[in-house]
Structure 1
Amino acid sequence: MTLGGLALGVGMVVDNTIVMLENITRHQQSADSPAEGTIKAVGEITSAIVAATTTNLAAIVPFLFIVGLIGLLFRELIFTISAAMVASLVVALTVVPALAGRLKSVHSAFSIHHSGLTKAFSYVLKHLLRWPLLVIALFCVGLWLSVPSFLSGKQIFLPNLDEGRVWLNITAEPGIALQEMDKTVIQVENLLQQEAEVESVFTQMGGFIFGRSQYEVSHRSSLNVQLVPVTQRSLSTDDWIKKMKKKVKQLGLVGIKIRMRSAGIRGIRLSRGDEEFSLRLQGNDLQIITELANEVLKHIADVPGLENLKHSAEEINQELAIVVDKQRANALGFTVEDIGRDLNILMNGRVVTDFIDSDQSIDVRLRLPPNELQNPEDLQSVLLYNKDRLAIRLDEIAKVQWIPVPSEIMRDQQQRIIEISANISADSSLPEVMMVVQQRLASLSLPDGYTLYEAGASEALQENQQLTKILLALAVFLVFVVMAVQYESLHNPLVILFSIPFVTIGVAIGIEWLEMPLSMPVWLGMIMLAGMVVNNAIVLVETIELQRAAGLPLQSAIVTAGELRLRPILMTTLTTVMGLLPLALSWGEGAKMLQPLAITIGFGLSFSLLVSLLLVPVCYQWLAQMTERH
């Protein structure tokens, strides 16, 4: 993210320098000496540059104080951009004037001060100033038309990165022999290794390791497949999975369930199994919530877009249970505690003494030889002794039987839960699927004390959308406060602030044109835009104020300021947009994460040219005329 911040900031850090240098160049052309022109230019533009940079920082600095996943993901990015902006402000106010004051202005043939573009812009602006309400109405219509783009169902938490990681979970019937499971897994391995896109396959079977704990499970296996880099294959990870599902099905593995999915972003886990779709059933009775989970699966099994649908209680292990006949056991002088203690000693042993060898003490453990407890029948025939030293076989007072039990018991807020999870297909989005699921489950009634709620990526998406909306409102408020302090009035800050919402028109155009889903980087880009789009408006309004202070009438001051600021506004916007192109085009590994951010800022800034050059002057004139009337 640090390098991503540098990539984003490449075009932004030159903005202050461009504005300062352009103003210095213009004043040097009419000054007696370069130093005199530089001093006048610096005094004229310093407040605007400071205000523009401060508003940028005010919009994004709140991100540095956010906790949770969003703060963890983007804190380095925001810190890098903030540091770059501060450095660019210092350079623009010190180094640039110092160097520019020693150089004479060069009259370039490419100067656009009196070019056709400037004349055309001046002509258009003069006519638009005659119809302020019409201009404002047109922009408002565009804003209204862009709203559906932000309310659509195409929303995801983070962009889908094609890292080429695929997870396979193979599940057989409980009790399958390890050798049989091994044969099945080898068949799948051989099939995978025949594919040209596969770089490596890592298989784990016979059990799992979680931290320091080990679990022996013969009927489950997992395979982690790493595909070659995306530049070396013609298929995306999702397309490759679709192809392999068909090939695995052709193996005809009876009694075997194989779930295949693309792995999530490395290091980010939003649910128990990394699936995007997740619901949780919560209650006290494990049997009841298991039945409810099966009922939920029946309701949503055929929802389009859901893949690998399952619930956590499906994973069953076989345990050997000893069911004691309490009446008979008590009649023969045994309690359940006695039986449990004696069986524990038989199987695990008990330290009865120790053996001293030199200076070492070695425990002596007494237990049955392992070869005498090979199966349940051996356990049934063991002899237990009561208080009267009467020997009784275990099967006379208890039954030894295999029983199915959940492989794990999950809890949330101290209550048992079952998680229902699935993957979302590549042609669907999580909000769209959730809408259908909610409709299907509307008729499902739950007993008292049992709840069904969203979790995983859906929960994270909702929480972080609320957070980003708060941050966006806070960013706009802080931008307004900074400008109000800078101008010591509300007139100019309101004009500048009015330009912020309309850049969403450009963002909406980018979203619809590229069919890009809304994700957290898009919302981050919107927050950054709130601080960036006011830069041009601040410089333009500052110049209008200077022209009016010089004695020009209102409309003439606006047109003159527009002509003077056309070149720096075009240059600063274009340099920033061009600097975003590598990220927007997703060049290089890892650029996919920041691509939506770059696209959002790029389209928003591009449209902000129209907002800054046309809407802001019109709004300034309209508000100034209203103020003069009252």
Structure 2
Amino acid sequence: MILGIIAVGFSRLPTSFLPDEDQGQFFTLIQLPQGSSIERTFEVVNDVYEYYATEEEDILSGAFALAGFNFTGNGQNNGIIFAATKDWSERPDPSQSVAALTQRANQHFSQFTEAQVFAIAPPPIRSLGNSGGFNLYLQDSGGIGHDALLDAQNQLLGMARQESILTSVRPNGLPDAPELNIELDFQKAQALGISLSDATSLLSVAYGGRYVNDFIDRERIKRVYVQGDAPYRMQPEDISYWQARNAQGDMIPIDEIASTNWSFGSPQLQRYNGMPAVNIQGAPAQGVSSGDAMDKMEELVDRLPDGVTLEWSGISAQERDSGNQAVLLYALSIAFVFLCLAALYESWLVPVAVLLVAPFGVAGAVAAAHFRGLSNDVFFQVGLLTTVGLASKNAILIVEFAKGLEEQGKELVQATLEAVEMRFRPILMTSFAFGFGVLPLAISSGAGAGARVAIGTTVLGGIIFATFFGLVFAPLFYVVVRKLTGGKPLKPRETSGVPA
């Protein structure tokens, strides 16, 4: 019955990789339609900045805004704001946390029509991506083409916006944009005596610029770039201003050998696992675990046309891998403890009496996680293994003394009852000491509180259940196991001495 309760509790426990952490900072991504001017981007960035300065003034300690860049790439239609909050001691209310702040901000920014704006918290562990939440790639595994892949991406984003458990679902990349193509007529260039390398080098310097040298300015080294002046590279027809020298030393306008045309394409070439792909990021809504959000995204991807597959990346891939390895980790841990106890008691059945107490600790840990609204993450799993060890420790104390009293010649039940009586107070003292030791973790707040609460709550709930149920069932299990082995009295220990 206990195992059934544990199985039900585990199945209903939301999954995640790491608990969300309030790191005292967050950032806001701003992306306008492709082709927007830098002046228009500045206006939107200032509107977002003003919102934080007026609505979240009591929480923020400062902010830094940029236009022309964000994590999706460089472009005059992109912007980003880095913001830091006040110290955790100055914002004890849960509504002043980074998670609550970003949720309010996203609700406000959803009303913007001139840009897409997302307030995002950083991931719990740096270097595992630029943001928390989930990170996936839509892969063109069926060779459907770029346009069909973008249609699938837009369809997925539309379905994700209808789900209440998902938020800030967005493409992490630059959208397709108009492109100006310059085509050179090789045969005409050869007839005019113009080297193609000279022509392409001229166009590269004029339109893209080139680094040529360094110079020292006020004790600082600065770079020198050569590029065409802005008025002479603003329009496609401005190519006529530029001239290349041919083999005879004459200056020939570039438009004699070059033509221009407009096309529409992606400014980025995204691939994942060697296949064309698009990156999509998002986050679970407040109170929803990342595991539930990832399950929902997998369900939505299954509705997409054939030829599109999903692949997790970054912290999401780590979460999926850790979840698949959890069962193996538990099995190896229990097997290791069982072998150690078998060597200690020189029996294959007596250790079973000790390990049968462990499910009570596990049940307590799962119940505590449900009570606090926690997820089945890495810290929960560490706390679970700790709970198994503590529960086994209490049972070992009773079994070890009961076995010793039996070896002194006492009857099985009498020896077990005496062992419980002898170890009752020490077990309570050590359990209470350990429980009060982890209590500050379970009720902690501030920086790193997510990890401390997760492991503290798990261990505290497990030790409470393991202590009170273990004192009742550990001796019962020992008696049952001993009777299953035949219940023969253990051979008394031989003692040396002179007969009276």
Matching residue within 515, 528, 532 for 2:373: 515
> Counterparts of 1:370 and 1:490 in 2: how far apart (Å)?
86
User: Deviation digits for residues 35-68 of structure 1, max 9, x if unmatched?
Assistant: xxxxxxxxxxxxxxxxxxxxxxxxxxxxxxxxxx
Shift of 1:574: 0.8
**2:106 touches 2:168 (CA, 8 Å); kept in 1?**
no
> Counterparts of 1:149 and 1:340 in 2: how far apart (Å)?
67
Matching residue within 108, 116, 134 for 1:257: 116
Partner of 2:133 in structure 1?
276
Alignment of 1:604-623 (within 5 A): 604-623=462-481
**1:205 touches 1:222 (CA, 8 Å); kept in 2?**
yes
Change (3 A) 1:366 1:208: closer
Q: What amino acid maps onto 1:603 in structure 2?
A: G
Is 1:586 matched up with 2:444? yes
Is 1:595 matched up with 2:457? no
Larger Rg: 1
Q: TM-score, normalised by structure 1?
A: 0.67
Partner of 1:294 in structure 2?
154
592-601 or 303-312, larger mean C-alpha shift: 303-312
Partner of 1:198 in structure 2?
60
Is 1:237 matched up with 2:66? no
Partner of 1:158 in structure 2?
18
> Counterparts of 2:297 and 2:206 in 1: how far apart (Å)?
52
Q: What amino acid maps onto 1:606 in structure 2?
A: I
> Counterparts of 1:345 and 1:462 in 2: how far apart (Å)?
47
**2:362 touches 2:388 (CA, 8 Å); kept in 1?**
no
Alignment of 1:127-138 (within 5 A): none
**1:345 touches 1:367 (CA, 8 Å); kept in 2?**
yes
Partner of 1:382 in structure 2?
242
Matching residue within 373, 393, 400 for 2:232: 373
> Counterparts of 1:601 and 1:263 in 2: how far apart (Å)?
28
User: Deviation digits for residues 530-551 of structure 1, max 9, x if unmatched?
Assistant: 2222111111111101211222
Change (3 A) 1:384 1:288: farther
CA-atom RMSD in angstroms = 3.3
User: Deviation digits for residues 574-609 of structure 1, max 9, x if unmatched?
Assistant: 110010110011155423312111111111111112
Matching residue within 525, 534, 544 for 2:383: 525
User: Deviation digits for residues 137-157 of structure 1, max 9, x if unmatched?
Assistant: xxxx23312322211261221
Q: Which consecutive unaligned segments of at least 5 residues does structure 1 have?
A: 1-140, 352-364
Change (3 A) 1:494 1:380: same
User: Deviation digits for residues 138-179 of structure 1, max 9, x if unmatched?
Assistant: xxx233123222112612211122234221111123333333
Partner of 2:333 in structure 1?
475
Partner of 1:459 in structure 2?
317
Shift of 1:367: 8.0
Change (3 A) 1:278 1:537: same
Is 1:487 matched up with 2:356? no
User: Deviation digits for residues 68-110 of structure 1, max 9, x if unmatched?
Assistant: xxxxxxxxxxxxxxxxxxxxxxxxxxxxxxxxxxxxxxxxxxx
**Secondary structure at 1:628's aligned position in 2?**
coil
> Counterparts of 1:514 and 1:368 in 2: how far apart (Å)?
61
Q: What amino acid maps onto 1:258 in structure 2?
A: V
Shift of 1:423: 1.7
> Counterparts of 2:7 and 2:270 in 1: how far apart (Å)?
41
> Counterparts of 1:590 and 1:422 in 2: how far apart (Å)?
22
Partner of 1:222 in structure 2?
80
> Counterparts of 2:372 and 2:71 in 1: how far apart (Å)?
44
Q: TM-score, normalised by structure 2?
A: 0.82
Of all paired residues, the percent bearing the same amino acid is 22
Structure (1 or 2) with the greater helix fraction: 1
Partner of 1:446 in structure 2?
306
> Counterparts of 2:63 and 2:378 in 1: how far apart (Å)?
32
User: Deviation digits for residues 174-206 of structure 1, max 9, x if unmatched?
Assistant: 333333332332232233122222111022223
> Counterparts of 2:320 and 2:137 in 1: how far apart (Å)?
16
Shift of 1:499: 1.9
**1:270 touches 1:460 (CA, 8 Å); kept in 2?**
no
Change (3 A) 1:372 1:383: farther
Shift of 1:329: 5.3
> Counterparts of 2:360 and 2:225 in 1: how far apart (Å)?
82
**Secondary structure at 2:451's aligned position in 1?**
coil
**Secondary structure at 1:159's aligned position in 2?**
coil
Shift of 1:349: 7.8
> Counterparts of 1:399 and 1:625 in 2: how far apart (Å)?
95
Is 1:570 matched up with 2:428? yes
Higher relative contact order, chain-length normalized (CA < 8 Å, sep 6+): 1
Alignment of 1:20-419 (within 5 A): 141-152=1-12, 154-194=14-54, 195-207=57-69, 217-233=75-91, 234=93, 235=95, 236-248=97-109, 255-265=114-124, 267-271=125-129, 273-283=130-140, 286-315=146-175, 320-325=180-185, 337=197, 339-344=199-204, 370=229, 373-376=232-235, 377-387=237-247, 392-400=252-260, 406-419=266-279
**1:326 touches 1:335 (CA, 8 Å); kept in 2?**
no
Is 1:536 matched up with 2:394? yes
Partner of 2:412 in structure 1?
554
Shift of 1:344: 3.8
Shift of 1:380: 3.1
